[in-house]
Amino acid sequence: MLDIKFVRENPDVVRENIKKKFQDAKLPLVDEVLTLDQENRAVIAEAQDLRTKRNSLSKQVGILMGQAKKDPSKLAEAEEAKAQVKANADRLAELEAQETELAEKIRKIMLQIPNIIDPSVPIGPDDSCNVEIQRFGEPVVPDYEIPYHTQIMESFNGIDMDAAGRVSGNGFYYLMGDIARIHEGVLAYARDFMINKGFTFCIPPFMIHGNVVEGVMSQTEMDAMMYKIEGEDLYLIGTSEHSMIGKFIDQIIPEEKLPQTLTSYSPCFRKEKGAHGIEERGVYRIHQFEKQEMVVVCKPEESMDWYEKMWRYSVELFRSLDIPVRQLECCSGDLADLKVKSCDIEAWSPRQQKYFEVCSCSNLGDAQARRLKMRVKGSDGRTYLPHTLNNTVVAPPRMLIALLENNLQADGSVKIPAALRPYVGGMEVITPKA
């Protein structure tokens, strides 16, 4: 969310940014919010003037009532002053109600106006315009067939989607045996990987209040992703970023405690509206999965350095598991409204002979901090808004796809990368059971 003062002073910049994000339908919001802001400031000024006059009139009434005890001719003047005080109080109550109403209207509009994107972001309407920046590792297509990922898992008796369908419906699964062990091993490896990078491990709440949801994401994202607990002000998290950033709601962080570098484990729950296509048959896009996340809260001048570090951590982790990846810069139209800059890390799929998304690294500037009223107290005693960033460490359903496909051998066995072996009881290979 932008600062209303910024919109007031830079309306053309805000309009141009909306056009760059191909959201022209939001252009009228700028004029609308500026009109409301002007009205609100006039109301605030009148209210402040009345408060000043109230203090003066109240003193005057006291003086006149004292004089009226000695001189009855002063009583009428005192009563007139008292009537003016009452009229001012009534008008002030009206103005304060207007101020509250206008402030809420302004806030709702400001929540819809997208954040200012970084100048380095490529311009384009959708993800088809995302730009490949660089590749890491050599993508290989073996001379033997790579089955669909659920077929690979089934060969190890490692997945049962039919039973999950009977129990929970589409978009769920049972993982079993070696596949379940690898799944948990990947999460444990990712946890220790980030701890070794200096991040603090955290297990957060898996449900959050509505004001936290509104603070961390746009209404569009919320409608498409979040499951609400009926009858309660609670939502199931779609990623632990939500509760990790929410941890700082209404807090003032001492500057010396920055940066806050946290890595968190959680289950994730998503509606996945609009999911379709062949990949939806497996575990690529599902309603429930587990994930290791990284979150940073830092000084504004440090956020781009952290952005660079964070996506490189993802590359390093995937390469340590023998998975080729590439970095894809997200274009303006593919950025969620709160994001300043974002990139995807995509893993190589030998079966599809293309890359697919496994991590998403985002710099959100001060948007989440402003929504959540997070502040930092500097050494000079002044407060300012920090910047927030997040990135996937691993989401094992997609990581499993990449790991199984890239380490599948001609005989149907899967080689376990050396870095992962200590987390799966030392296994070096798993062999098919069916």
Q: What percent of the chain has pLDDT over 70?
A: 90
Tell me which amino acid residue 275 is.
A
Residue 93 is part of a domain; what is its CATH number? 1.10.287.40
Residue 177 and residue 59 share a domain:
no
Look at residue 281 in the predicted model and tell me its pLDDT.
Answer: 66
In a domain, 47, yes or no: yes
By residue range, what is the domain housing residue 139? 127-430
Look at residue 224 in the predicted model and tell me its pLDDT.
Answer: 82
Mean pLDDT of 308-332: 97
Interaxial angle between packed helices 27-70 and 75-110, expressed in degrees from 0 to 180 and rounded to the nearest 10: 160
In a domain, 116, yes or no: no
Residue 253 and residue 200 share a domain:
yes
Mean pLDDT of 171-180: 94
Query: Whose CA is closest to 270, among 250, 251, 284?
Result: 284
- For residue 416, what pLDDT band results from cuts at 50, 70 and 90? very high
Residue 412 and residue 352 share a domain:
yes
Look at residue 218 in the predicted model and tell me its pLDDT.
Answer: 85
In a domain, 115, yes or no: no
Q: For residue 246, is pLDDT > 70?
A: yes
Look at residue 87 in the predicted model and tell me its pLDDT.
Answer: 77
Q: Which range has the worst mean pLDDT, 105-119, 279-293, 296-310, 405-419?
A: 279-293
**DSSP letter (8 states) at residue 418:** G
Query: What are the pLDDT digits (tens) for 14-52?
Result: 999 999 999 999 999 999 999 999 999 999 999 888 887
Two tokens, residue 112: 């819809």
Residue 282 and residue 166 share a domain:
yes
Look at residue 167 in the predicted model and tell me its pLDDT.
Answer: 96
Look at residue 280 in the predicted model and tell me its pLDDT.
Answer: 54
pLDDT, mean over the chain: 91
Look at residue 77 in the predicted model and tell me its pLDDT.
Answer: 63
- pTM attached to this predicted model: 0.89
Q: Which range has the worst mean pLDDT, 285-289, 323-327, 385-389?
A: 285-289
> 76, 110, 144: which is the final residue of a domain?
110
- For residue 293, what pLDDT band results from cuts at 50, 70 and 90? very high
Report how far residue 4's alpha carbon sits from residue 82's, in angstroms, rounded to the nearest whole number: 39
Look at residue 390 in the predicted model and tell me its pLDDT.
Answer: 97
Q: Which position has the higher pLDDT, 197 or 82?
A: 197
- For residue 126, what pLDDT band results from cuts at 50, 70 and 90? very high
Look at residue 221 in the predicted model and tell me its pLDDT.
Answer: 82
**CA atoms lying within 13 Å on the CB side of residue 235:** 24
Look at residue 283 in the predicted model and tell me its pLDDT.
Answer: 85
Q: Which position has the higher pLDDT, 78 or 191?
A: 191
Please tell me whether the peptide bond between 28 and the residue prior to it is cis, using omega within 30 degrees of 0.
no
Residue 106 and residue 212 share a domain:
no
- As beta bridge partners, residue 44 has none
Q: For residue 123, is pLDDT > 60?
A: yes
Residue 163 and residue 26 share a domain:
no
Residue 312 and residue 211 share a domain:
yes
Q: Which position has the higher pLDDT, 60 or 17?
A: 17
Residue 293 and residue 395 share a domain:
yes
Mean pLDDT of 83-94: 79
Residue 131 and residue 88 share a domain:
no
In a domain, 120, yes or no: no
Look at residue 406 in the predicted model and tell me its pLDDT.
Answer: 97
Query: Whose CA is closest to 170, among 290, 291, 272?
Result: 272
> 63, 81, 110: which is the final residue of a domain?
110
Question: Total domain count for the chain?
Answer: 2
In a domain, 422, yes or no: yes
Residue 312 and residue 238 share a domain:
yes
Look at residue 413 in the predicted model and tell me its pLDDT.
Answer: 97
In a domain, 118, yes or no: no
Look at residue 278 in the predicted model and tell me its pLDDT.
Answer: 42
In a domain, 20, yes or no: yes
**CA atoms lying within 13 Å on the CB side of residue 272:** 18
In a domain, 122, yes or no: no
> 110, 136, 165: which is the final residue of a domain?
110
Q: Which position has the higher pLDDT, 76 or 410?
A: 410
DSSP 150-182: HHHHHHTT-EEHHHHHHHT-TT--EE-HHHHHH
Query: What are the pLDDT digits (tens) for 206-216?
Result: 999 999 999 99
DSSP 30-78: HHHHHHHHHHHHHHHHHHHHHHHHHHHHHHHHHHHHHHHHH-GGGHHHH
Query: What are the pLDDT digits (tens) for 360-408?
Result: 999 999 999 999 999 999 999 999 999 999 999 999 889 999 999 999 9
Look at residue 174 in the predicted model and tell me its pLDDT.
Answer: 95
Residue 226 and residue 132 share a domain:
yes
Residue 187 and residue 50 share a domain:
no
Query: Whose CA is closest to 326, among 263, 402, 431?
Result: 402
- For residue 62, what pLDDT band results from cuts at 50, 70 and 90? low
Place of tokens 């296994």: 427
